[in-house]
């Protein structure tokens, strides 16, 4: 007798073809499982584990061929973290769930690195009567033991992810304290990146100096924004200026030749656009005209 599951009737153990219990069992119809292949990789994953998108896709396609499964769609998230669900291909796959019967991944951590997100997904799949398959871990969601094992494995994956995050944080913190080099951020207005270092960009650097000069001349952020906009001066992205954008520039120690990361400020190797004295005076002016809630705290004063 064929064995049954919540999702249907398994016709044979070596050929993963199902007879959906409610719709097809009575009529004796047989249909091949339609599979959604999901692949994901981040730069860190690829460097550490070699799970390239092409390698994942090829192995999963071969897995489907061996099981006589039909690939209904392939969803690829390139460069997205597995710690949240804000991934375009993942969101599209869930929205298109009527196209597939089973979700196939190479490993569980390709779909989620967060236990809560994973369990919420599994609850959704059960409600939608969909299966989940991890090709290299041989996990079957149709059994209680399979669900239990998947939960344990996912929690181990989350632990590993959090430990990696802690190690990365420790490394970044040490680099922030002693250097050298940048800390992985995009070059701010006034700078560009050359050979891994910040170098001034002449036209933008002049605009930054002008913003600091207006601040020291007693201009408010609102007056400065209005003046720049009236003269057609724009941000790097072509947007108009506003007080918040100006405050962030005036409050950024990078322009005085320092780097700031998670509360750590250190002297950096890149050239300053404004002197330390100018930056410090701007901080006092900003504090006196407190625009934002965090402007009420102690000003960032740098040592030359």
Q: What percent of the chain has pLDDT over 70?
A: 74
User: Is pLDDT at 11 greater than 50 in this prediction?
Assistant: no
Mean pLDDT of 141-157: 73
Place of tokens 């994956």: 157
CA 93 vs. chain centroid, Å, equals: 18
Of 11-25, 47-61, 78-92, which range is least confident? Answer: 11-25
Q: How confident is the model at residue 22 (pLDDT cuts 50, 70, 90)?
A: very low
pLDDT at 243 over 90: yes
The residue from 5, 42, 142, 173 that is catalytic is 42
Please tell me the predicted confidence (pLDDT) of residue 51: 66
pLDDT at 89: 96
**Confidence (pLDDT) at 14:** 35
What's the pLDDT tens digit per position in 176-226? 556 666 665 688 999 998 887 889 999 999 999 999 999 999 999 999 999
Q: β-strands 102-105, 34-41: how paired?
A: parallel
For each of the domains in the chain, give its residue range(s) and CATH number, in order of start.
33-158 (3.40.50.1390), 179-296 (3.90.1750.20)
User: Between these two residues, 252 and 45, which has the higher pLDDT value?
Assistant: 252
**Which two structure tokens, joined as six digits, stand for 236?**
């790097």
Identify the pLDDT of residue 29.
Answer: 54
* Lowest mean pLDDT across 119-123, 132-136, 213-217: 119-123
Is residue 139 helix, strand or coil?
strand
This prediction's pTM: 0.46
Q: Is the pLDDT of residue 303 over 50?
A: yes
Q: What is the pLDDT of residue 179?
A: 60
Share of the chain above pLDDT 90, in %: 44
DSSP strand E in the chain: where? 9-10, 17-19, 31-32, 34-41, 70-78, 102-105, 131-134, 139-140, 191-194, 197-200, 258-261, 264-267
For 35-69, write each residue's pLDDT tens digit.
999 999 886 655 455 568 898 999 999 999 998 99
What pLDDT sits at residue 160? Answer: 76
- Is 138 in the active site? no
* Mean per-residue pLDDT, 11-24: 38
Instruction: Provide mean pLDDT across the span 135-159.
Output: 75
Annotate 20-50 with b (16+ C-beta within 10 A) or e (fewer): beeeeeeeeeeeebebbbbbbbbeebeeeee
Residue 270 has pLDDT above 70, yes or no: yes
d(CA 303, CA 279): 10
Structure confidence at residue 182 (pLDDT): 61
């Amino acid at each position: 007798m064929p064995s049954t599951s919540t999702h249907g009737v398994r016709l044979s153990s070596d050929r993963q073809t199902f007879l959906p219990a409610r719709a097809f069992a009575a009529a004796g119809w047989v249909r091949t499982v339609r599979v959604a292949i999901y692949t994901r990789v981040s730069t860190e994953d690829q460097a550490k584990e070699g799970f390239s998108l092409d390698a994942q896709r090829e192995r999963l396609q071969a897995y489907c061929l061996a099981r006589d499964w039909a690939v209904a769609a392939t969803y690829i998230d390139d460069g997205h973290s597995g710690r949240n669900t804000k991934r375009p291909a993942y969101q599209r796959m869930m929205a298109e769930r009527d196209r597939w019967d089973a979700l196939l991944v190479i490993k569980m951590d390709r779909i989620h690195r967060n236990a809560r997100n994973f369990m919420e997904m599994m609850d959704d799949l059960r409600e939608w009567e969909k299966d989940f398959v991890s090709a290299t871990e041989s996990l079957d969601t149709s059994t209680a033991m399979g669900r239990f094992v998947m939960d344990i494995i996912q929690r181990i994956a989350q632990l590993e992810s959090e430990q990696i995050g802690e190690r990365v944080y420790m490394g970044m913190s040490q680099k922030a304290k002693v250097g050298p080099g940048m800390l992985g951020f995009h070059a701010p207005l006034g700078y560009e990146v050359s050979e891994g270092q910040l170098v001034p960009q002449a036209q933008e650097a002049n605009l930054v100096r002008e913003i600091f000069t207006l601040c020291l001349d007693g201009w408010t952020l609102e007056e400065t924004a209005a003046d720049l906009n009236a003269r057609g001066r724009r941000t790097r992205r072509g947007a108009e200026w506003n007080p918040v954008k100006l405050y962030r520039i005036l409050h950024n120690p990078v322009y005085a030749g320092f780097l700031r990361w998670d509360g750590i400020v250190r002297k950096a190797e890149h050239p300053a656009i404004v002197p330390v004295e100018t930056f410090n005076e701007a901080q006092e002016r900003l504090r006196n005209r407190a625009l934002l809630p965090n402007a009420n705290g102690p000003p960032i004063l740098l040592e030359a």
